[in-house]
């Protein structure tokens, strides 16, 4: 089974050493999506039980360069899950109100409630990525945020939120191909933004920022999973397997009734 790259807390990785394409696998696109469908069915049942149990929650964090496939991963992996118990949050440029608070204030408001799955399409890690690359805050400020993020994630886990952090790892060439496809396909033109080309010029700076975020915020309570994402089906299969295993390990159960229902008949 395809696996993400994981590494022990305290060790250091370099993204340039980690493959962004598929390793040898018995799966292909067709068999991968059959497995994803099977995983989705298992997850849907687990999510119903998690919602009924109403004691714990799950937070899926998706980070990656433009075109890495955050939206596609969500659409594919979470199919069949009741939207009532699964919410997606996309963090954009902070509002004036949000800037008047600490950088985690707007994040904490969006963490999933008990019984729910929350998905962050981009996340609090933007505060050590785009903020760093574009020099939006002084260096001494964003450097302090790594440990604050670790403390924040520890708080969540100690309050029964399981955090699954996935970095969708693509190559620069794959990004070029996907951006060009948005230009060449009239049905995909709406996805293209000239700002993406400006961000692409900062590829090396972003890779350095991501490398630091992965190394400094890879903890036992909230480890990073590096997902090779040059092939969409391979990316989706790995995240699907990861989420299914997470839900099965939680093993949520329907609560028992507090009331004796024996003999009750609805007329």
Say if residue 80's pLDDT is above 90. no
Q: How far apart, in whole angstroms, are the C-alpha atoms of residue 127 and residue 136?
A: 9
185 assigned to some structural domain: yes
Please classify residue 184 by burial: count the beta carbons closer than 10 Å to its beta carbon, then call 0-12 exposed, 13-18 middle and 19+ buried: exposed
| Helix spans in 117-171 (H) | 130-133, 139-158
pLDDT digits (tens, 9 = 90+) for 127-180: 999 999 999 999 999 999 999 999 999 999 999 999 999 999 999 999 999 999
What CATH number should be reported for the domain holding residue 161?
3.40.50.300
4 assigned to some structural domain: no
41's tokens: 């069915």
pTM assigned to the model? 0.95
256 assigned to some structural domain: no
Q: What pLDDT, on a 0 to 100 scale, did the predictor assign at position 261?
A: 79
Q: Which position has the higher pLDDT, 24 or 16?
A: 16
Q: What pLDDT, on a 0 to 100 scale, did the predictor assign at position 1?
A: 83
242 assigned to some structural domain: yes
20 assigned to some structural domain: yes
Domain count, the chain: 1
Radius of gyration of the chain (CA): 20
Torsion of CA 184, 188, 193, 194, to 10 degrees: 10
The model's confidence at residue 249, banded by pLDDT at 50, 70 and 90, is very high
267 assigned to some structural domain: no
- Selection from 136, 31, 105, 117 nearest residue 74 by Cα: 117
152's tokens: 């924040």
Q: What pLDDT, on a 0 to 100 scale, did the predictor assign at position 152?
A: 98
Tell me the residue range of the domain where 195 lies: 15-250
266 assigned to some structural domain: no
Q: What pLDDT, on a 0 to 100 scale, did the predictor assign at position 25?
A: 80
205-210 long-range contacts, CB within 8 A, separation 24+: 205/133, 206/65, 206/129, 206/133, 207/15, 207/16, 209/128, 209/129, 209/132, 209/133, 210/15, 210/63, 210/65, 210/129, 210/167
Mind giving me the DSSP string for 178-211?
A: HHHHHHH-GGGGGG--HHHHHHHTTHHHHHHHHH
pLDDT digits (tens, 9 = 90+) for 37-57: 999 999 999 999 999 999 999
Q: How far apart, in whole angstroms, are the C-alpha atoms of residue 220 and residue 222?
A: 6
Q: For residues 117 and 51, is the Cβ–Cβ distance under 8 A? A: no
259 assigned to some structural domain: no
Q: For residues 224 and 6, is the Cβ–Cβ distance under 8 A? A: yes
Q: For residues 142 and 190, is the Cβ–Cβ distance under 8 A? A: no
Residue holding tokens 């890779």?
207
């Amino acid at each position: 089974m395809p696996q993400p790259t994981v590494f022990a807390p305290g060790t250091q990785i370099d993204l340039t050493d980690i493959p962004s394409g598929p390793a040898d696998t018995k799966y292909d696109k067709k068999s991968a999506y059959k497995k994803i469908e099977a995983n989705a069915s298992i997850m849907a049942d687990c999510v119903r039980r998690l919602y009924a149990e109403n004691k714990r929650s799950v937070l899926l964090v998706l980070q990656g360069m433009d075109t890495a496939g955050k939206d596609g991963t969500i659409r594919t992996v979470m199919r069949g899950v009741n939207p009532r118990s699964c919410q997606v949050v996309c963090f954009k440029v902070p509002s004036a109100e949000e800037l008047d608070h600490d950088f985690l204030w707007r994040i904490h408001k969006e963490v999933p409630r008990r019984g729910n799955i929350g998905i962050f399409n981009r996340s609090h890690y933007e505060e050590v990525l785009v903020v760093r690359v574009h020099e939006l805050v002084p260096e001494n400020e964003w450097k302090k945020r790594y440990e604050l993020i670790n403390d924040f994630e520890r708080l969540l886990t100690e309050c029964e939120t399981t955090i699954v952090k996935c970095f969708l790892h693509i190559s620069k060439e794959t990004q070029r191909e996907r951006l060009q496809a948005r230009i060449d396909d009239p049905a995909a033109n709406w996805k293209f933004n000239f700002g993406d080309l400006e961000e692409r010029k900062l590829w090396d700076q972003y890779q350095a920022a991501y490398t630091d975020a992965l190394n400094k915020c890879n903890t036992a309570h909230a480890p990073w999973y590096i997902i090779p994402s040059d092939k969409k089906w391979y990316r989706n299969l790995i995240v699907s397997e990861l989420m299914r295993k997470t839900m099965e390990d939680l093993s949520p159960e329907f609560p028992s009734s507090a009331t004796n229902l024996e003999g009750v008949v609805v007329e």
